[in-house]
Amino acid sequence: MLRVAPSRYALAVSDWPGSGWLGSRGLMAAVGRAPESRRRTTDTGRFATGSAPRAPRGNGRWWIALVVVLIVAGTLTGVGIWAVNKFGSLSNIFTASGCTASSTAGSVSLDLEQAQNASTIAAVGIQQGVPVFGIEVAEATAMQESKLHNLGYGDRDSVGLFQQRPSQGWGTTTQIMDPVYSSTRFYQALVNVSGWQSMTLTQAAQAVQKSGAPDAYAAHQADATVVAAVFTGTAAAGLGCTLDSPTFAAQSKSSGALLNARAQSVLNTLRNQFGAANVGPVSSISSDGLSFDVSAPSSLSGADATDRGWAYANWLAAQAEITGITHVQYADRSWSSTAGATGWATISPTGAGATVHVTVTAGT
């Protein structure tokens, strides 16, 4: 987002170098004030009684003021044109980007990176076959440890979403900085805790993390419950996002390919995070390779299949900022990257459990 600090470019008269293109006198003249003439002095150093004739106001330098005005106007026009091209309209400059995750339990505000990471944590939980409570534990843990940001620093050698330490056997720094890897390692440690499903959320998190603040995870339980519901799909159309007007390079479909590279990358990432076995068949690929449909796996039916579809759909909305997704449609709802906080619009229903339709940008 473009943020303007009003004082950043403001200069006092004294800031202009005296020998510059204006100088302090020239600047005063530019705003209509000519410097007053000083009295003449005699050769004895005393002031004479007379004064030098006053120069005409502006001293013929009105054109400098005109030049300044034209430069400022041209600069502002250029900035305005750039802003419209970048953000779609001038009003969008002052619209904060971010997402709101909503379920029957409440709502949670997330920045774009937090939404991306929260959706990844949930997708990996589905891949690992962890029940929803385990995903809630993971989300609350990441909220406490990193505020859902993939940090490259921390206490001692801790890094990543869960602040895992290479020196404690969690993996290399490079591995831990991969959210899919770090989420997988967290779930693997969690399910190895005896009786974790009978524990409270903060007890289960602490059993994995062994933190110096063992009760801190409880403060995030309500938010983690909402986020887990959205990204496991039990909260249909649960994510509204205002994107940061990302731009993407133009891409065309390669010869012999069904999808263009950007759409293929979205599909590959979906399969990587949810697990290939947890993503159903792909169909209805457009001739330009920019859109496709994806279904829940045939092993799911009824409400489970519908929830999986919404897990995909909310995940796709969360990932749109970095993947170039422009539209997602599922059941009777449609999401657009330009819809902002309004999120999902109601459309003619395509039937519960139907395919999720995805479209990516062709780029510019």
Please choose, from the candidates 350, 343, 293, the residue with its C-alpha nearest in 3D space to the C-alpha of residue 318: 343
pLDDT at 350: 64
Q: What CA–CA distances, in Å, run from 170 to 93, 120, 129, 182? A: 41, 19, 21, 8
Query: For residue 315, with 0-12 CB atoms within 10 Å meaning exposed, 13-18 middle and 19 or more buried, which class applies?
Result: buried
Structure letter (DSSP) for residue 338: T
The CA distance from 16 to 4, in Å, is: 22
Does residue 114 contact residue 149 with C-beta atoms inside 8 Å? Answer: yes
Residues of the chain with confidence (pLDDT) below 70: 1-60, 73, 76-95, 350-353
The CA distance from 333 to 347, in Å, is: 5
What is the amino acid identity at position 297? P
| Mean of pLDDT over the chain | 83
pLDDT at 11: 31
pLDDT at 60: 56
- Model confidence pLDDT, tens digit, residues 98-139: 999 999 999 999 999 999 999 999 999 999 999 999 999 999
Q: What CA–CA distances, in Å, run from 116 to 98, 111, 112? A: 11, 9, 6
The CA distance from 35 to 24, in Å, is: 10
pLDDT at 95: 65
**Which residues are CB-neighbours of 145 under 8 A, at least 6 positions away?**
154, 161, 162, 163, 209
Length of the chain: 364
pLDDT at 67: 72
Question: What pairing do the DSSP bridges indicate for beta strands 106-110 and 98-103?
Answer: antiparallel
Please choose, from the candidates 330, 246, 342, 328, the residue with its C-alpha nearest in 3D space to the C-alpha of residue 296: 330
Residue 330's H or E segment, with its range, is: strand 325-330
pLDDT at 69: 75
- Residues 63, 68, 69, 75, CA torsion sign: positive
Q: Does the predicted model carry a pTM greater than 0.85?
A: no
SS3 102: strand
pLDDT at 63: 73
